């Protein structure tokens, strides 16, 4: 390990004003953990954008290295499950929130947080998927557990051109679903169709206050937006359907009623990637390795440098990022 290495550090002054700056840290600055990883690739998720811009209180300990996910190679291990040279992925577990995260050349974490990089997948491909893609897979798996098969009818994906949305469309279309993609960016229609979306609808169709029940339009969906959008998606879900709620890009509230639940038997499936148990993570990554077309993955990916992270963080919270951003370290 180099004596000093690159890191982004989020600090807070006496007025609780948060700043993110690139600096250098040493091994002694890394936090407790039994496995040290050289970060080969990371990414900029929506939550990372919130952390770096300070737009929401994602960082809860200062100073902190942000970055909620990485792929890399183990350089030192006191954990029997891992040895130097192993290729690993980390998603969540509080990294980039309360534990130093991905935006440094090295990270020290608990071995139990890591999953193996699937065979045949590069670190950059794993981060093209990243936490957004892994969350999309968790959402698809939740819909499947609820019996949402293609013959039940269309499925809707909101925040379609974002990271979760793009991967969810690719996975659902590959599984044979008729995917309705809701986007605020009409200019991305061709992109969304190339991922497998069968229909594109305007974000505005779902963003006004929802009626308790509306015309049944889909059997289920993946919602990355929350607020009125999720309320509308629920009110338009057909009898016995299910919606996986995983995001809040449009707001944290849920101005809905119980009507879809008690009159149509609709289910709201909560998706959390941060503390998801290891067995679920292993299944999600195994399926991502085999079911997500590498050509679709390449189509949704933009690669940037470490120096570009702050700009990408601003872009993602402003809704200007399409698909996924990979940071090559
Ligand atoms: P992105 O920014 O890549 O995608 C979000 C998309 O939502 C945008 O591309 C845009 O899609 C849409 N959008 C943005 N702002 C608004 C708005 N004001 N109203 C309606 N739609 C909007 O983020 P990610 O895909 O990385 O994450 C999506 C959400 O999922 C975030 O809220 C994130 O925090 C959450 N998340 C949750 C996880 C969990 O564990 N539950 C894990 C990972 C992410 P378009 O332009 O197509 O309309």
pLDDT single digits (tens) 60-69: 999 999 999 9
Q: What is the pLDDT of residues 190-202, one digit of tens each?
A: 999 999 999 999 9
Q: What is the pLDDT of residues 215-270, one digit of tens each?
A: 999 999 999 999 999 999 999 999 999 999 999 999 999 999 999 999 999 999 99
Q: Whose CA is nearest to atom 10 of ligand 1?
A: 159
pLDDT of 16 above 90: no
Tell me how far apart the alpha carbons of residues 329 and 327 are, in angstroms, rounded to a whole number.
Answer: 6
Tell me how far apart the alpha carbons of residues 13 and 33 are, in angstroms, rounded to a whole number.
Answer: 27
| pLDDT class of 72 with cuts at 50, 70, 90 | very high
Q: Which of 162, 167, 201 to mutate to test the pocket of ligand 1 (most atoms within 8 A of CB)?
A: 162
Q: Is 21 exposed, middle or buried (0-12, 13-18, 19+ CB in 10 A)?
A: exposed
User: What is the average pLDDT across 164-191?
Assistant: 96
Percentage of the chain modeled with pLDDT above 70: 99
Please state the φ and ψ torsions of residue 43, each to the nearest 5 degrees.
-155, 170
Tell me how far apart the alpha carbons of residues 114 and 88 are, in angstroms, rounded to a whole number.
Answer: 6
Residue-level pLDDT at 296: 86
Beta-carbon contacts of residue 272 (< 8 Å; ≥ 6 apart): none
pLDDT of 2 above 80: no
95 lines ligand 1 (CB under 6 A): no
Alpha carbon of 197 to ligand 1 centroid (Å): 17
Structure tokens of 220? 């289920």
pTM for the whole structure: 0.95
Alpha carbon of 140 to ligand 1 centroid (Å): 16
203 lines ligand 1 (CB under 6 A): yes
46 lines ligand 1 (CB under 6 A): yes
State the number of CA atoms in the 13 A half-sphere of 163 facing the CB. 28
Pick the atom of ligand 1 nearest to 163's CA. Answer: 25
- Mean model confidence pLDDT for the chain: 96
Strands (E), the chain: 5-12, 18-25, 35-43, 69-77, 87-91, 106-109, 114-116, 155-158, 179-183, 199-202, 218-223, 237-245, 267-270, 301-305, 324-328
Distance of CA 85 to the CA centre of its chain: 27
Q: Whose CA is nearest to atom 23 of ligand 1?
A: 46
User: What is the average pLDDT across 200-214?
Assistant: 97
**Spatial contact of 276 and 93, defined as CB atoms under 8 Å apart:** no
Tell me how far apart the alpha carbons of residues 24 and 92 are, in angstroms, rounded to a whole number.
Answer: 23
Q: How many residues are there in the chain?
A: 329
231 lines ligand 1 (CB under 6 A): no
45 lines ligand 1 (CB under 6 A): yes
């Amino acid at each position: 390990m180099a004596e000093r290495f690159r890191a982004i550090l989020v600090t807070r002054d006496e007025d609780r004003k948060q700043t993110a700056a690139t600096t250098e840290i040493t091994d002694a600055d890394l936090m407790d953990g039994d496995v040290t990883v050289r970060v080969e690739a990371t990414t900029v998720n929506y939550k990372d954008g919130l952390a770096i811009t300070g737009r929401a209180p994602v960082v809860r300990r200062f100073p902190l290295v942000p970055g909620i996910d990485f792929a890399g190679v183990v350089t030192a291990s006191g954990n029997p499950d891992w040895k130097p040279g192993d290729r690993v992925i980390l998603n969540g577990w509080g990294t980039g929130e309360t534990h130093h995260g991905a935006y440094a050349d090295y990270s020290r974490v608990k071995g139990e947080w890591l999953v193996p990089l699937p065979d045949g997948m590069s670190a950059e491909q794993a981060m093209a998927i990243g936490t957004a893609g892994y969350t999309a897979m968790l959402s698809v798996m939740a819909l499947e557990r609820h019996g949402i098969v293609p013959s039940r009818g269309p499925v809707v994906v909101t925040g379609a051109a974002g990271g979760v949305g793009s991967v969810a469309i690719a996975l659902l279309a590959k599984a044979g679903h008729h995917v309705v993609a809701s986007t605020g960016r009409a200019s991305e229609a061709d992109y969304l169709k190339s991922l497998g979306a069968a229909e594109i609808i305007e974000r505005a169709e779902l963003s006004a206050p929802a009626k308790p029940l509306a015309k049944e339009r889909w059997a289920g969906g993946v919602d990355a937006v929350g607020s009125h959008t999720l309320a509308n998606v629920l009110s338009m879900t057909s009898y016995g359907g299910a919606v996986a709620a995983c995001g809040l890009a449009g707001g944290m509230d849920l101005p809905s009623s119980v009507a879809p639940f008690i009159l149509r038997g609709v289910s709201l499936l909560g998706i959390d990637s941060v503390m998801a148990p290891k067995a679920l993570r292993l299944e999600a990554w195994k399926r991502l390795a085999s079911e997500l077309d590498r050509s679709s993955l390449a189509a949704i990916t933009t690669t940037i440098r470490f120096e570009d992270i702050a700009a990408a963080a601003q872009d993602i919270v402003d809704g200007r990022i399409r698909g996924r951003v990979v940071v090559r370290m």
